[in-house]
């Protein structure tokens, strides 16, 4: 059972308008063990309130694979928040 | 130049050499190449476009394009696939995405090329920002399907 004081460090990437709102392309964050992608997003929505309105129109990835919001994170994971894609 | 024995998957920051790519997928056993050449239109929703900027989550985008190519080889009788997307600033008329599929017969090449561009537009993490005389916007896009939705177990029928 993980200790509540245990922290994991994850890398976070922002793209498109999220990058503009956060004013950065990437960040590194320490989270409680067992944190999931949803709680990671909530952290940034707290820091950058404008992000919240985009929550329902984003998908997330973990280690470069699309990932459900309840994906539990591990130390060293690379998480990205991805707006609707518009390549082509 | 000898034809390569592998597909060509790339994200580039310089103009795409369309003729070279078409030549690279062309083999003596092929009877057809179907090409999709996507380029920058001079307007979007009745506003005059000045230029576009594309950005990508590059390692994931490359992996997703590779998945598309792998799926094509599983599903269609094709020889080689080239899929190249350009990033950075693009001017009107410049090619942003170029897909070439070679095959012994046209039907497989058409089907594979259509699958390639449709799937790229839906699932590859690339974003386009449109610049107009009076501002700029991120283009409306498509939300990729999450694995939880696509991998749901279907009841036997």
State how far the Cα of B107 lies from the Cα of B118, in Å rounded to an integer.
Answer: 17
**Cα of A33 to nearest chain B Cα, Å:** 23
Mean pLDDT of chain B: 92
State how far the Cα of A25 lies from the Cα of A14, in Å rounded to an integer.
Answer: 5
| Of residues B144, B27, B38, B133, the one with CA closest to residue B85 | B38
Query: Domain A7-82 is of which CATH architecture?
Result: Roll (3.10)
**Cα of B76 to nearest chain A Cα, Å:** 22
The closest CB to that of A86, out of B117, B140, B146, belongs to B140
Residues B31-74: tens digit of each pLDDT: 999 999 999 999 998 899 999 999 999 999 999 999 999 999 99
Q: Give A18 or B151, the one with higher predicted confidence.
A: A18
B146 falls in which pLDDT band (50, 70, 90)? Answer: confident
CATH number 3.90.1170.40 given to B8-136? yes
Q: Is the pLDDT of residue B157 over 50?
A: no
Diameter of chain A measured on Cα atoms: 47
Residue with tokens 């998908």: A59
Q: Please, what is the end-to-end C-alpha distance for chain B in angstroms?
A: 51
Q: Quick check: B124 and B50 in contact, CB under 8 A? A: no
A 13-32 near B (Cβ less than 8 A)? 13, 15-17
Q: Is the pLDDT of residue B156 over 50?
A: no
The closest CB to that of B57, out of A58, A68, A80, belongs to A80
Q: Is the pLDDT of residue B103 over 90?
A: yes
Q: Give A19 or B5, the one with higher predicted confidence.
A: A19
Residue extents of the structural domains in chain A: 7-82
């Amino acid at each position: 059972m993980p200790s509540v004081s245990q922290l994991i460090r994850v890398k976070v990437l922002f793209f498109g308008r999220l990058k503009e709102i956060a004013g950065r392309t990437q960040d590194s964050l320490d989270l409680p063990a067992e944190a999931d992608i949803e709680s990671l997003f909530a952290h940034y929505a707290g820091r950058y309130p404008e992000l919240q309105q985009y929550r329902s129109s984003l998908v997330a990835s973990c280690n470069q694979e699309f990932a459900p919001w309840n994906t539990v994170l591990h130390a060293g994971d690379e998480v990205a928040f991805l707006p609707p894609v518009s390549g082509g | 130049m000898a034809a390569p024995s592998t597909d060509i998957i790339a994200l580039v920051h310089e103009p795409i050499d369309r003729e070279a790519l078409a030549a690279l997928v062309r083999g003596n056993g092929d009877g057809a190449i179907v090409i999709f050449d996507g380029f920058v239109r001079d307007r979007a929703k009745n506003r005059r476009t000045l230029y576009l900027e594309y950005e990508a989550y590059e390692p994931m985008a490359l992996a997703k394009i590779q998945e598309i190519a792998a799926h094509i080889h599983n599903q269609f009788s094709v020889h080689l696939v080239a899929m190249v997307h350009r990033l950075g600033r693009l001017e009107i008329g410049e090619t942003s995405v170029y897909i070439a599929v070679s095959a012994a017969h046209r039907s497989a090449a058409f089907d594979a090329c259509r699958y390639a561009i449709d799937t790229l537009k839906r699932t590859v993490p690339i974003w386009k920002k449109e610049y107009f005389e009076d501002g700029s916007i991120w283009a409306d896009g498509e939300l990729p399907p999450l694995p939880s939705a696509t991998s749901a177990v279907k009841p036997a029928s």
